[in-house]
Amino acid sequence: MNNVAESFIGKNTPRSDGFAKVTGTMQYTSDIIIPGMMYGALLRSPHPHAEIISVDTSAAEAMGAVCLTYKDINPVVYNERSVSIPAATYRDRTVLPNKARHFGEPLIAVAADTEELAFKAVKAIKVDYKVLDAVYDPAEAMKPGAPELYKTIYLGDKRIDVQNNIGVVRNIDEGDCDAGFAKADRIFEHEFELERIYHNQLETKCATCKPEPDGSLTVWATAQSIHANRQLLGRILNMPLSKINVKKLPFGGAFGSSIQVNTVTPICACLAMKAGRPVRLTSAREEDFYSHQKYPALFTVKMGVTNDGIITAAHVKALIDFGAHQVQPLPFMGCTAGWFASLYRYEGNIRFDGTAVYTNKTPCCAMQGYGNPQINFAIESMIDIIAEEMNFSPVDFRLKNYRGVGDEFWGQGPTIRSIIKSCGVEQSLVEGREKTDFDNRALPHEKTGVIRRGIGLARGFHTSGTAGPKEGEVIDYSSATIKINEDGSVDLLTPVTDHGGGTWDALKKITAEVLQVPLDMVGLSPAETMNTGYDVCTHATRGVYCGGAAVYHVAMKVKERLLEFAGRLMAEHHYNLEVMRNDELRQSVVRVKNFPSKFMTVGDVARQAQIMSWGTMAYTDSYRQRNCPPCFTTHFVEVEVDTRTGIISIPKVLIYGDCGVAMNPDLVKGQLVGSFNRGYGYTVYETMPLDENTGALKNNGLLVDYKTPTAMEMPRIENVEVVLCDTYEPSGPFGAKGIGEAALASVQAAITNAVYNAIGIRFHKLPITPEVVLKALKNKEQEAGK
């Protein structure tokens, strides 16, 4: 009995959902069709700031439509996102408000028998508004006399006053910054600014809600957390959670856009309960632009450096415009401080002063990094500025100051700290320097011609989850159920969602590896809130590291029971047995150690246990990681700048990713390449200009000048090299940690650093569109002529 199969952890395997996706048979929320279903539509605010004086829905109701206004809603004030502990969560939102605070905010919902009738009914509704002055600039919003969005909001259960539209202040002081700056030989200070962008996920927000005959509610929703949706709906509808069942479905990407309970879901639920019939409510792409956006940021960064290249202190001031509602800008600023603090050591002298402000714009939420790409752009640009002005090698300067193995790491903020146990930074910087011949790159003043080529680098990271050694600082745990069937196959039940990157396949691999079952013998069971334990959310790059750890923990418990049952059947102590996968039998077997001819298949053990009425080999439990290890990335990017058109193109890129042991290397590489595309767009294309007369976006739609890079703008595939670092994370399942959000963190700074190397112009604000580049080239030419 020696035909033992090799591990498939770290091996490329076909995606279990691949066939359904490429054939178009995968079922998403918008594919749910229920007999008797009605279709929802929303009346959205035509003003950025206005009070509703009166509403007349009689014409719409005469058409047979069911109408929902703020008067029909239980006035629960909530925050759409429920990751933080309740006492640290700001609340300012209701399902439907009587005051619009941004253009496009949902005010009234209707349901009708057809979509056409629903939209016709919306147009028939008459609303009288008292139009109020609006404010769009966060600095202006804080001035006395500026239009006020709120007078009071809630922090936990405590009602608090809002002063000058300031939603949150977060100040952090570590070490002794004043002494650190006094120790420095040079002090550098610069501003950096990043604009809002749209998530641009494949699937827009959708919810389908079905009232059941027993008074319960079944929900299908675009969701990164089915349990967060259930709990919030329970509060809003004043229903026991046992009466609300949220089904887990695949969804077409998110990039953080569904980290919270999406605005349409409570509206749809309330509409369905009023109608007494199933209702589906789907956002059009143009509406989705007003759902959530990426946080913009203005940073002032100050650093002190000694002549021998040690950063002695760093101070960041942050001004954040989070829009009309809070989707937790408080933890956003804590996380931003953590990303800044954990990139480099700064001799422990760190200061962060953050202010987050209400404006009459679309609310902001997490987007692939939750502040990390923003602050990374600022810090990694500063590192390049310092290296050039002080004549340091950009690679050596980073190597001298980075936080690596043995250093303290701030996971998601200053209260969640751990020690780095695995790190690919040195490998990526040292190898990348050699591969790109980085030290011998030409300097900007040495370049002439119409097309200027440059090379730049930046490094970044993200956490794998949000948990630290201490309990009660943040909600972060996962649950799983695993059951061995009577033929030796295995059922895996997990509430963890998959954004499309292959998380579910990774969890199946972990199950199969622990129980030594062939991968195709592990089934992913349909999951919903009524049959799964709690999972906080698939966010913070936690899917494999945290969700996978729960699966690993439960699988080990099932394995214990398997060995116990097999020992009783084989008259052996359980500690003398081992489980091995045998591909010839397409089974896993339990055999006696050092006596391979004495064995039973797992299927035989399960069947005999059933006959003996010992029970099913199954286990359900929750598990919390006590670490959130950083996963690192480094980008070496070549750019070409056309000085006639201002167009920035990228002919070549080298990407390093450190995710510990990759469950499926090809999927990790795909994540890194796809994220490079997103970061490329963030850097040179994407912007959301606002018409300040109306509060409306000038480009709310993919056909209305919202530009993102296509395959035509990306480097040719043979010029994209992705290297996975040789690391092992001891706290992760089979040595794995995350990669998702880290994949984007350092793209922006790497591109802008390369642009500087090409044309000698440092850009401190994104995006750097062709118009911006041409203007900067013209200004440089004029200054040179003086």
Indicate the SS3 state at residue 119.
Answer: helix
Average pLDDT over residues 538-546: 94
Element (H, E) at 460: strand 451-463
Q: How many CB atoms lie within 10 A of CB 673?
A: 17
What confidence score (pLDDT) does residue 85 get?
Answer: 87
pLDDT tens-digit readout, 197-219: 999 999 999 999 999 999 999 99
Nearest to 732 by CA among 548, 551, 559, 558: 548
Average pLDDT over residues 585-594: 91
What confidence score (pLDDT) does residue 283 get?
Answer: 97
* More confident call, 472 vs 114: 114
Statement: residue 341 has pLDDT above 60:
yes
For a pLDDT cut of 90, what percent of the chain falls above it? 92
Nearest to 510 by CA among 666, 742, 738, 735: 735
What's 786's DSSP letter? -
Phi, then psi, of 525 in degrees rounded to 5: -75, 150
What confidence score (pLDDT) does residue 472 get?
Answer: 83
pLDDT tens-digit readout, 67-114: 999 999 988 999 999 888 899 899 999 999 999 999 999 999 999 999
Nearest to 236 by CA among 76, 69, 90: 76
For the chain, what is the mean pLDDT?
A: 96
Q: Which residues pair with 281 in a beta bridge?
A: 207
How many residues appear in the chain?
A: 786
What confidence score (pLDDT) does residue 413 get?
Answer: 85
* More confident call, 411 vs 352: 352
Q: How confident is the model at residue 3 (pLDDT cuts 50, 70, 90)?
A: low
What confidence score (pLDDT) does residue 2 get?
Answer: 53
Indicate the SS3 state at residue 191.
Answer: strand
Average pLDDT over residues 590-599: 92
For a pLDDT cut of 70, what percent of the chain falls above it? 99
Mean pLDDT: which of 83-97, 572-586, 743-757 is highest?
743-757
What confidence score (pLDDT) does residue 4 get?
Answer: 56
What confidence score (pLDDT) does residue 704 get?
Answer: 80
What confidence score (pLDDT) does residue 469 get?
Answer: 87
Question: Is the entire prediction scored with pTM above 0.85?
Answer: yes
Statement: residue 786 has pLDDT above 80:
no
What confidence score (pLDDT) does residue 267 get?
Answer: 98
Q: Which range has the worst mean pLDDT, 148-157, 575-584, 737-746?
A: 575-584
What confidence score (pLDDT) does residue 784 get?
Answer: 83
pLDDT tens-digit readout, 612-623: 999 999 999 999
Contact 131, 147 (CB under 8 A): no
Burial of 471 from C-beta contacts in 10 A (0-12 / 13-18 / 19+): exposed
The side-by-side arrangement of strands in the sheet containing 577-582 is 577-582, 587-592, 595-601
pLDDT tens-digit readout, 422-447: 999 999 999 999 999 999 999 998 99
